[in-house]
Amino acid sequence: MIKPHGSDTLTPLYVADDDRRAKLVAEAEGLPSVLISSAAAASAVMLGAGYFTPLTGYMNVADAISVAKDMKTGNGLFWPVPVVNIVPSDSISEAVHQAGKIALRDPNVEGNPVIAIQTVESIESLSDSQRDTIINNVFRTSDTEHPGVANFAALGDRVIAGPIEVLNYSYFPVDFPDTFQTAMEIRASIEKMGWDKVVAFQTRNPMHLAHEELCRIAQKAVDADGILIHMLLGKLKPGDIPADVRDAAIRKMVEVYFPENTVLISGYGFDMLYAGPREALLHAVFRQNCGCSHLIVGRDHAGVGKYYGAFDAQEIFDDLPEGSLEIDIFRGDFTLWSKKLHKVVMMKDHPDHTPDDYIFLSGTKVREMLSAGQPLPKEFSRPEVAEILMKYYQEQANA
């Protein structure tokens, strides 16, 4: 199995020893505390679950800017997106400033329990120019209509850096008990199934027929033993389909249309960045940490609106320094139903086709049909999947 990024073994920051974790939970109640952002809480989950191996905590300003500009930390580790704990200045008490350790409180769980304890190495101001540098390099835009830019710009102006010890995985194990998994658990599942070569499919959306076939095409092309369908379970922008609906739709698709023991369905606790190419690199890092040999990078991977070119997220991999990653990518193309061949194909494989040879439905048209209770064409979506989505959209329309 492929080794983790920057390490021979995974380095999860979750405190697995029950006695030690109980002592830290008790200790946390006596520490100065800070209510962190959803983004920082999600990063704590990813750090705890081994996905962000080999990081030990939140970056300081210098590392964050180095990662944003050059995609490497100060010590030379390849990393594509800053992992930071940024809070407003007025949320930091004098006690926090004086403390060696602080308790980080989760904004996404009722009562704001402590999600992690952080050893404070520094508390630095983030200037407007430094914030702009990070935003422009990571998101390739400063447009606040971009949801990732808007979220980052609103975080605050104080950067708290230092290693963390993670005490829980926030709401993810409770809300998604059958889907949320750590990188360690995914590696164990892959090993148990006897897979050596695994292709990962990233999704924040339900999977229609084209996505399903793209997984099959990629599996065949790289001769993979199995497929990891790995869905984001964290915060999304308004209008995206909730994780529980997506989870149900994907599970039904796999149950009915894939052979047994060929697909592993899992989810991870992170908020969507919508950072396009940079987020594709981050997806590759933590899929390598999961033990996957390949990641499918498709059209407008992790994109939003018209901020990125259709294949920018593939092309960024071409410019990486040698040895940055061990995982390989499978480059997906526009994947649609061919009227000529009566199956889903990737457009780049069929230059003889014209646009009229494909069946295409826009996202808007799909939502309109589902909201109206109209079945989707069988060439676009499995009926079992469409039924789950139709129920959701009709509930939304009648709410």
Residue 341 lies in a domain: yes
Does 196 share its domain with 345? yes
Residue 6 lies in a domain: no
Does 355 share its domain with 218? yes
Q: Which of 21, 140, 204, 251 is catalytic?
A: 204
Does 191 share its domain with 318? yes
Residue 1 lies in a domain: no
Is 205 marked active-site?
yes
Does 79 share its domain with 50? yes
Q: Which of 21, 140, 205, 251 is catalytic?
A: 205
Does 221 share its domain with 89? no
Does 32 share its domain with 149? yes
Q: What is the pLDDT of residue 237?
A: 85
Instruction: Give exposure, 314-346, as e/b (b: 16+ Cβ within 10 Å).
Output: bebbeeeeeebbebbbbbbbbbbbbeeeeebbb
Residue 12 lies in a domain: no
Q: What radius of gyration do the chain's Cα atoms show?
A: 21
Which residues lie below 8 Å from residue 20, measured CB to CB, with a gap of 6+? none
Residue 4 lies in a domain: no
Q: What is the pLDDT of residue 67?
A: 98
For residue 199, give the amino acid letter. Answer: V
Q: What is the pLDDT of residue 396?
A: 85
- What parts of the chain have a pLDDT lower than 70? none
75, exposed or middle or buried, with CB in 10 Å at 0-12, 13-18, 19+?
exposed
Does 201 share its domain with 53? no
Does 186 share its domain with 169? no
CATH code for the domain of 384: 3.40.50.620
In the chain, the number of structural domains is: 2
- Backbone φ, ψ for residue 369 (5° rounding): -65, -45
Residue 96 lies in a domain: yes
Does 312 share its domain with 199? yes
- Dist. CA 297–CA 166, nearest whole Å: 30
Domain that holds residue 214: 180-398
Q: What is the pLDDT of residue 100?
A: 96
Q: What token pair was written down for 9? A: 């073994």
This prediction has a pTM of 0.95
Instruction: Write down which residue in 124, 148, 173 finishes a domain.
Output: 173
Q: What is the pLDDT of residue 365?
A: 87
Residue 328 lies in a domain: yes
Q: What is the pLDDT of residue 340?
A: 92
Does 100 share its domain with 211? no
CATH code for the domain of 109: 3.10.400.10
Q: What is the pLDDT of residue 14?
A: 98
Per residue in 39-68, pLDDT (tens digit) is 999 999 999 999 999 999 999 999 999 999
Does 30 share its domain with 155? yes
Does 25 share its domain with 153? yes
Is 204 marked active-site?
yes
Instruction: Write down which residue in 124, 154, 173 finishes a domain.
Output: 173
Residue 267 lies in a domain: yes
Instruction: Write down which residue in 132, 157, 173 finishes a domain.
Output: 173
